[in-house]
Amino acid sequence: MILKKSKDILSEYILCDHCLGRQFGKISISTNKRRGEVIRNFLKHTYPDTPNINYQSPCYLCENIFERTENIIDQINPDFQFNSFHVGTKIPKDILKKEEMLKDKFGLDYQEGIKQELNRELGKKIGIFLRKEFKREKEDITIIVHPYGSKIEYIINPIFIYGKYNKLIRGIPQTRWLCTKCKGRGCSRCNRTGKMYDESVEELVSELFLKEAQGTDSSFHGAGREDIDVLMLGTGRPFVLEIKSPKIRELNLKKLEEQVNMINEGKVKISDLRFVEKELVETIKNVHMRKIYRAEIDVCLSDNEKQKIEEFFNDKEIYQETPNRVVHRRADKTRIRKVYKVRTSKENCTSLEIYCDGGLYIKELISGDEGRTNPSIAELLGKNVKCVVLDVISIEEKV
């Protein structure tokens, strides 16, 4: 069957060994070139009169591209750091059409595409040429070859750095917050900065990394966030910093940590840095880690009230609708979170330590948010209570 079809094809078209072999590429394990040679030899014995049985350049299908792979590879000259790569090729439409036409005309059910063969051949050769690892996933870069257009493109995949941060001053948001009036273009309200706040944890942390890695952009993925006026103390909050299109991938994280901490002394501190895979971004965004908060309230609790609070908020489920103050930018839904323990202080009557699930809004747990949080400290005491100062003093370690 293979011989008969090959005879019919060659009677009409000139094909090189690669292209001849590839028309039956899914039949056996062998290189297409080798298969093409074998078919041609058999044909010489069985049907010696077949036209084009001796290959005469150029190949109708590939236009001899397989003879030019070395020239293509010579053009690959990346000026950035990477250890592994993947290859993609762009094949012109007229060549793909010819391939499709042969498949239909001669019923070539086992045909392999020219793109697959070129990807494979170029992948092997580029790996040897650059002494880098060819990978099908989690590769550092993708090399896009236009074999018929003498053009090479590079896609540099991002790097991901895990760490924890402490926020030591109030008044800065976690991430860059675009001006709500001009959406970042710059206007009179934001003083031409395009931002609501001059600084953010994101900017203070990522600037140096971005510069060092020579990336184009960065994203800061936090494991939850604290309000602008809330400190992040204790061992810190996990985050993943994503640097896009980095020219330098091998960063000295210890040194960068020290520099970031020196520049931002008294504001933001980072620790525990390490390189991670992309998957961790989703993981840290979706885990709700338990936390301990320290809150100052605007009323002085009696001993009786302290006792009441400690006894009541013991493994207690809290039903919380999205708070009034954020409902304009977050989905309005009811969440159920637990308060495990509330500890009052012997020394003063306005301090509370609250141990609870992540994702619980603490200011509303205290005030009740006009009945949107249930139960609440205000409701339990039967009076208005407000949180005036709030800090995260510990986040349970999970990632």
The reply on whether position 190 binds Zn ion by CB under 5 A is: yes
**231 belongs to the binding site for Zn ion (CB under 5 A):** no
16 binds Zn ion per the rule CB under 5 A: yes
In angstroms, give the least distance from the CB of 288 to Zn ion. Answer: 33
List 91, 108, 118, 179, residue binding Zn ion (CB under 5 A): 179
> How many Cα atoms occupy the beta-carbon half-sphere of 266 within 13 Å?
0
Please tell me whether residue 196 binds Zn ion under the rule CB under 5 A.
no
Residue 24 main-chain phi, psi, to 5 deg: -125, 30
Taking contact as CB under 5 A, which single stretch among the options 57-65, 83-91, 208-216, 244-252 is the one that binds Zn ion? Answer: 57-65
Binding flag, residue 62, Zn ion (CB under 5 A): yes
114 is a site residue for Zn ion (CB under 5 A): no
Residue among 10, 14, 19, 273 that touches Zn ion (CB under 5 A): 19
Terminal-to-terminal C-alpha distance of the chain: 59
Query: How far, in Å, CA of 210 to CA of 217, rounded?
Result: 7
Q: Which stretch binds Zn ion (CB under 5 A): 19-27, 137-145, 336-344, 385-393?
A: 19-27
Q: Which of residues 59, 156, 223, 390 is near Zn ion by CB under 5 A?
A: 59
318 neighbors 375 (Cβ within 8 angstroms): yes
> Which of left, alpha, beta for 52 (phi over 0: left; psi -120 to 50: alpha)?
left
Please state, in angstroms and rounded to a whole number, the distance separating the CA atoms of residues 190 and 178. Answer: 9
- Rule CB under 5 A: is residue 145 a binding residue for Zn ion? no
Distance between CA atoms of residues 188 and 238, nearest Å = 35
Judged by CB under 5 A, the residue of 27, 76, 130, 187 near Zn ion is 187
Give the footprint of Zn ion on residues 255-274 (CB under 5 A).
none
Find the helix or strand (DSSP H, E) in which 37 lies. Answer: helix 32-46
Least separation in angstroms between CB 121 and Zn ion: 12
- Residue 334 and residue 337: Cα distance in Å, rounded? 10
Residue ranges of the binding site for substrate = 293, 361
For Zn ion, which stretch binds (CB under 5 A), given 1-9, 41-49, 59-67, 283-291? 59-67
Q: Which amino acid is at 338?
A: K
CA distance 131 to 321: 57
Q: What angle do CA 104, 108, 110 make, to 5 degrees?
A: 140
Task: Find out whether 122 and 103 touch, Cβ atoms under 8 Å.
Answer: no
SS3 call for 350: coil
Strands 387-395 and 291-297: antiparallel
Query: Shortest Cβ distance from residue 192 to Zn ion (Å)?
Result: 8
95 binds Zn ion (CB under 5 A): no
By CB under 5 A, is residue 10 in contact with Zn ion? no
Q: What is the rounded CA–CA span in Å between residue 52 and residue 130?
A: 38
One-letter amino acid of 42: F
**Is 332 labeled as catalytic in the residue annotation?**
no
Binding-site size, Zn ion (CB under 5 A): 11
d(CA 20, CA 5): 10
In the complex, minimum distance from the CB of residue 179 to Zn ion, in angstroms, rounded to a whole number: 3
Contact 85, 142 (CB under 8 A): yes
Exactly one of 227, 298, 303, 391 is catalytic; name it.
227
Nearer to Zn ion, 187 or 299 (CB): 187
Cα separation, 41 vs 376, whole angstroms: 87
67 secondary structure, DSSP code: G
> With binding defined as CB under 5 A, does residue 205 bind Zn ion?
no
**Binding of residue 20 to Zn ion (CB under 5 A):** no
178 touches Zn ion by CB under 5 A: no
Among 73, 178, 182, 299, binds Zn ion (CB under 5 A): 182
Under rule CB under 5 A, residue 122 binds Zn ion: no
The minimum distance between CB 49 and Zn ion, in angstroms, equals 23
d(CA 53, CA 47): 9
Q: Does 213 bind Zn ion (CB under 5 A)?
A: no
Which residue stretch of 28-36, 60-68, 89-97, 98-106 sits at the interface with Zn ion (rule: CB under 5 A)? 60-68
> In whole angstroms, how close is the CB of 70 to Zn ion at the nearest point?
16
CB of 122 to Zn ion, least distance (A): 15
Asked if 39 interacts with Zn ion (CB under 5 A), we say: no
Residue ranges in contact with Zn ion by CB under 5 A: 16, 19, 59, 61-62, 179, 181-182, 187, 189-190
Q: Catalytic residue positions? A: 227
